[in-house]
Structure 1
Amino acid sequence: MTGQTPAAVRRERVLREAVRQGLLDPEQSLLAAFVDLDGVAATVGSLHRAFRRVLPAPASVVHAFAAKANCLVPVLRELEGHGMGCEVATAGELARALAAGFPPDRIVFDSPAKTRGELERALALGVAVNADNFQELARIDRALAGRHSLSRIGVRVNSQVGGGTIAAMSTATSTSKFGVPLADPGVRQQLLQAFRDYPWLTWIHTHAGSQGCPLDLMARGVALAVEFAEEVDAALGERRVVGIDIGGGLSVNFADDETDPTFDTYAECLRTHAPALFERGFDVVTEFGRSVLAKNGFMAAYVEYTKSAGGRPIAVTHAGVQVATRTVFAPEAWPVRIEAHHGSGRAKQGRPVRQDVAGPACFAGDLLARDRALPLLEPGDIVVVPDTGAYYFSTPFHYNSLPEPAVHGVRMRGDGRVEFTLLRAAQDPWDLPDHERRAGEVRQPVDAGACDVR
């Protein structure tokens, strides 16, 4: 373990114990994923502390984990136990948040395509709702029909401050599909009128994007949202906007084990660019996802075969597009690190050799890494992919009907023991889901003549 970072040493300890206990096995468990639950607790703690340092004591803050980043119910339950809320973007994520035990008033429902039924359910439960557009605001008003709701209701504004280095992750461009575009002609006045018309509208939501978005761009987007909140209050002659949902989006460093940027750095950046967020006594909601979980998870897969093509070695592994979808389809934007290990789990040493690390899917682009310098991989070795606790193995892509891998929670006990908790069982590729089996059944037509229609 000489020369390894503390995080790499920890991964190796987990890996060796996983092999010893059979959680990784070259015949039965070819791919598995691990979530460091101790690391999750430490990361959430750092998030809470960062905002406590900059927010005035009376202010309320809810850190709502973005469920899309890791929607496994046991993981969400762990986060709820650490005092987090939950941000959801679909009915499925809402169902998972409720199953994990989040109280409705600590759940935030964001989606650009909420149905009437989804809105009615959220409002009945008291889940916070951020409307995406004027039509949705009108739909909420019809659903409320003058009734009081326990839900905090806000509207998402697009600050239009621009994009980061990854276009698909940038949500504050001039033509973004999300939110009400503040800089478009006439929109600001239309939105002010909405606050006049809807007394239940008391929050503003904004989110500039995630990976690849610089801190100052994100903070400037928040500043414009706060500025508009002050404009609403001035126009209405009362304190109407009580809270700002500033979204999430903190980028993750995928180059090494260092956490950069930190929540502390971002909180200070917000204080510089949007001081009124902290000085005016707004309640605050955040929606961090990737930055909470990414560095607290890794996956490990066996090398099945090795070969050479065009003079370049290729290692064919059991981890590919099904657990690293973004990396496979957009490798320049989403590169991952690869660590080489022996079949025992011990880190592999040796002269680096440039090689491809391929996945099992049946198309040529299924590669975790191209031309990567690593100790030469051999059949039976294990490749470890760090920083994949968010989005990767927790949101599998079922290409080629590849099965979902097992996910294990990990804790290190005081006596040095590694303790595993099953968070998701491995999917058996031979066991078809019931809903697929039932899909072949022929539905009998309804006999209209037998109905008593009045």
Structure 2
Amino acid sequence: MSLPSTSCVRSSSARVAAAVRHAVATGLLGESCPVAGFVDTEGVRDAVAALHEAFGQEPGAPEVLHTFAAKAASLVPVLRLLADSGMGCEVTSPGELRIALDAGFAPSKIVLDSPAKTREEIRRTLALGMALNADNLDEVDRIAALRPSTSVSAIGLRVNPQACAGSIGRMSTATTTSRFGVALHDPGARERIVKAFAAHPWLTLLHAHAGSQGCPLELIADGIAQTYYLAEEINARLGTRQITGLYIGGGLPVDSADDSVRPAFAAYVAALRAAVPGLFDGRYALVTEFGRSLLAKNGFVGALVEYTKDTGGRRIALTHAGARTATRTAFVPDAWPLRVGAFDAEGRPKDGPSLVQDIAGPCCCAGDVVAIGRELPELKAGDYVVLYDTGAYCFSTPWSCNSLPRPAVYGFRTAEVYGQDGPAVVFAPVRDTQSLESISAESGLAHADALLGLHP
């Protein structure tokens, strides 16, 4: 089905509501498909455009490659949409590299940032001409031993600016004891870094990443500023501009309070300009690696309410979403809160008196609850719930507890062409629901009798 040539519905909530209604009407959500993920493709393109616009293209501006962190949405059609929108890709494993190549990213626009690269990964990366960042000085030595003299790969070193933790400590990658990069302020570390660059003229990049959700702009900007000043120091001490590029990471947090995008990419760039204005004078090429901030607001999970029950004076809606899709929210709800929407059996937003309710999932563990004590219109069996802001790190990387199948994922676009059922919606498949045969195959079906053979 082709989309009429008209402008798009701009309200995120309106687009979600239209998508839910049409998904229920067309059977993409229902008894046979009780949970699914949905990607707002127009929202994704708008987010990419906002990122490019924030960094600007005025004369003298630095060359910038914006890469998408593949782990945030490891789905080939989504990655291909991002490639088509002008993004590069940041990968951290052989699997992510494979799907990035399958999605159509040119090797010259892919960066490998794994903290534990094997020799084979390094060999393949260098053979493809991809960029890579060493996580530690031992890895620099390993790359030196494997790097052919004809290599065209841009190679950098990741440093940990030790800029302190954000509000979610386990998501902060620039703490004093972070496992990532070379700790910049440890005794003797700075001198060892300088010596590594002096010994290897092919080291031309510095990489830092302060953290993700829970890290304020000031913390992120401080980590980047420290990396910039280290690059200036190394180039001055070597007497040449050996470092020509800075990988400044991503990690822009996402506010899940409403539809608003806060902080915006423009606010991020303004914070960087205030903290380190020299970053934008064109002397250093820049690479970013955003993930959550591009996708989270542009995806949602829809799930059927299978039952409701009252326990201890609290209403609980038992759904097919929960920890299988929003794992972090289920286990650390205060750090990863999600908005929840209530929809009726026809996929229309519910209204009426509010009732305090919990929203639970299907996993057989006590913690599979994604919303506790929320005031929502009263849910009943056959209704639907929506988990907003789940376009990143949720349905794209589901948790297979209890051998639950991976949910189907669809992309959608809406247009301001209204009929009896509101705006027109067009869907496209991204990933099919995992089959039971696939679950059994992944669980070792081909070797079903292998252990019996150990005990003749």
TM tier, smaller: over 0.9
> 1:75 Cα deviation (Å)?
0.3
Following TM superposition, by how much is the alpha carbon of 1:171 offset from its aligned partner in structure 2, in angstroms?
0.5
For the residue of structure 1 that corresponds to 2:77, the secondary structure is helix
Partner AA of 2:25 in structure 1: R
Q: Give, in whole Å, the separation in 2 of the partners of 1:7 and 1:432.
A: 35
Contact 2:303–2:384 (Cα < 8 Å) also in 1: yes
Partners of 1:233 and 1:223 in 2: CA distance = 16
Determine which of 394, 417, 424 is the counterpart of 2:431: 424
Residues 144-179 of structure 1, C-alpha deviation per residue, up to 9 Å, x if partnerless? Answer: 15x131111000010011110001110011110000
Alignment of 1:99 onto 2:102: yes
8 Å CA contact retained: 1:59, 1:282: yes
The one-letter code sitting in structure 2 at the alignment partner of 1:148 is: T
**What's the offset of the Cα at 1:434?**
3.4
AA matched with 1:429: L
Deviation of residue 17 (structure 1)? 0.7
| Residue in structure 1 matched with residue 52 of structure 2 by the alignment | 48
What SS does structure 2 have at the residue aligned with 1:417? strand
Q: C-alpha distance in 1, partners of 2:153/2:428?
A: 35
The whole-number CA distance in structure 2 between the counterparts of 1:434 and 1:56 is 56
Residue 62 of structure 1: aligned partner: 65
Conserved 8 A contact 1:56-1:279: no
Aligned pair in 2 of structure 1 residues 441, 127: CA closer, same or farther (>3 Å)? farther
Q: 1:56 to 1:176 in 2, by over 3 A?
A: farther
Q: 2:27 pairs with 12, 22, 27, which one? A: 22
Whether the 8 Å contact between 2:164 and 2:174 is mirrored in structure 1 is yes
Cα distance in 1 for partners of 2:84, 2:282 equals 30
Alignment of 1:212-291 (within 5 A): 212-291=214-293
Q: How far apart in 2 are the matches of 1:33 and 1:74?
A: 13
Q: Distance in 1 between matches of 2:33 and 2:335?
A: 30
Tell me: CA distance 1:103–1:220, structure 2 relative to 1, closer, same or farther (3 Å): same
CA contact (8 A) 1:156 1:179 kept: yes
Greater relative CO (CA pairs within 8 A, separation 6+): 2
In 2, the alpha carbon distance for the partners of 1:437 and 1:320 equals: 28
Aligned position for 1:449: none
Structure 1 CA distance, aligned partners of 2:40 and 2:332? 27
Q: Report the Cα offset of residue 274 of structure 1.
A: 1.2
1:280 Cα offset (Å): 5.0
In structure 2, the CA distance between the partners of 1:281 and 1:77, relative to structure 1 (3 Å rule), is same
Correspondence 1:10 to 2:15: yes
1:200 aligned to which of 190, 202, 217: 202
Q: CA deviation at 1:428?
A: 2.2
Instruction: Choose 355-364 or 412-421, whichever is displaced more.
Output: 412-421
Amino acid at match of 2:294: V
Partner of 2:420: none
Amino acid in structure 2 at the alignment position of 1:437: L
3-state SS of 2:436 partner = coil
Q: Which amino acid aligns with 1:100?
A: A
Q: Structure 2 vs 1, CA of residues 400 and 442 (structure 1 numbering), >3 Å: closer, same or farther?
A: closer
Residue 120 (1) aligns with residue 123 (2): yes
- SS of the equivalent of 1:87 reads strand
Question: 5 Å matches for 1:42-441?
Answer: 42-52=46-56, 56-57=59-60, 59-145=62-148, 147-413=149-415, 415=417, 416-429=423-436, 431-435=438-442, 436-440=444-448
Question: Which sections of structure 2, spanning at least 5 residues, go unmatched?
Answer: 1-9, 418-422
Query: Contact 2:304–2:384 (CA<8 Å) still a contact in 1?
Result: yes
Count of aligned residue pairs for this structure pair? 438
Question: Per the alignment, in what secondary structure is the counterpart of residue 372 of structure 1?
Answer: strand
Aligned residue for 1:350, secondary structure, equals coil
Q: Secondary structure at the match of 2:362?
A: coil
1:377 match: secondary structure: coil
- Post-superposition offset of 1:6: 2.5
Letter in 1 for 2:241: R
Secondary structure, counterpart of 1:390 in structure 2: coil
Residue 411 of structure 1: CA displacement? Answer: 1.2
Taking the aligned partners of 2:15 and 2:72, their CA distance within structure 1 comes to: 23
Q: Give SS of 2:66's match.
A: strand
Check conservation: 1:306, 1:313, Cα contact below 8 A. Answer: yes
For 1:158 and 1:322, the matched residues in 2 are separated by 33
CA distance in 2, matches of 1:404, 1:350: 33
Bigger drift between 185-194 and 404-413 goes to 404-413
Structure 1 residues not aligned, in runs of 5+ = 446-454
- How far 1:232 moved relative to its partner? 0.8
Maintained 8 Å contact 1:56/1:281: no
Helix, strand or coil: the match of 1:284?
A: strand
CA distances 1:371-426 after superposition (whole Å, capped 9, x unpaired): 11111110001001110000011100000001111100001246442110000001
Deviation at 1:52, TM superposition (A): 1.2
Distance 1:385 1:226 in 2: 39
Q: AA paired with 2:65?
A: V
Supply the AA of the counterpart residue of 2:307.
Y
- The residue type paired with residue 175 of structure 2 is T
Q: Using the TM superposition, name which of 385-394 and 409-418 deviates more.
A: 409-418
Shift in Å, 1:296? 0.2
Percent identity at matched positions?
51
For the residue of structure 1 that corresponds to 2:316, the secondary structure is strand
C-alpha separation between the residues in 1 aligned to 2:449 and 2:248?
Answer: 47
SS of the equivalent of 2:173 reads: coil
Task: Give, in whole Å, the separation in 1 of the partners of 2:369 and 2:392.
Answer: 19
- Aligned match of 2:36: 32
TM-score by length of 2: 0.93
Q: Which amino acid aligns with 1:28?
A: S
Q: How far apart, CA to CA, are the structure 1 residues paired with 2:213 and 2:87? A: 21
For each residue in 1:22-53, what CA deviation from the matched residue of structure 2 results, as whole angstroms up to 9, or x when unmatched? 1111x201001100000000000000000116
Tell me the TM-score normalized by structure 1: 0.94
Aligned partners of 1:219, 1:433: CA distance in 2, in Å?
A: 47
Shift of 1:59: 2.5
Counterpart Cα distance in 2 of 1:251 and 1:36: 19
C-alpha distance in 2 between matches for 1:387 and 1:167: 21
Q: What is the deviation of 1:57?
A: 3.9
The alpha-carbon deviation at position 10 of structure 1 amounts to 1.5
Q: Aligned letter for 1:12?
A: A
Structure 2 Cα separation of the partners of residues 300 and 359 of structure 1: 12
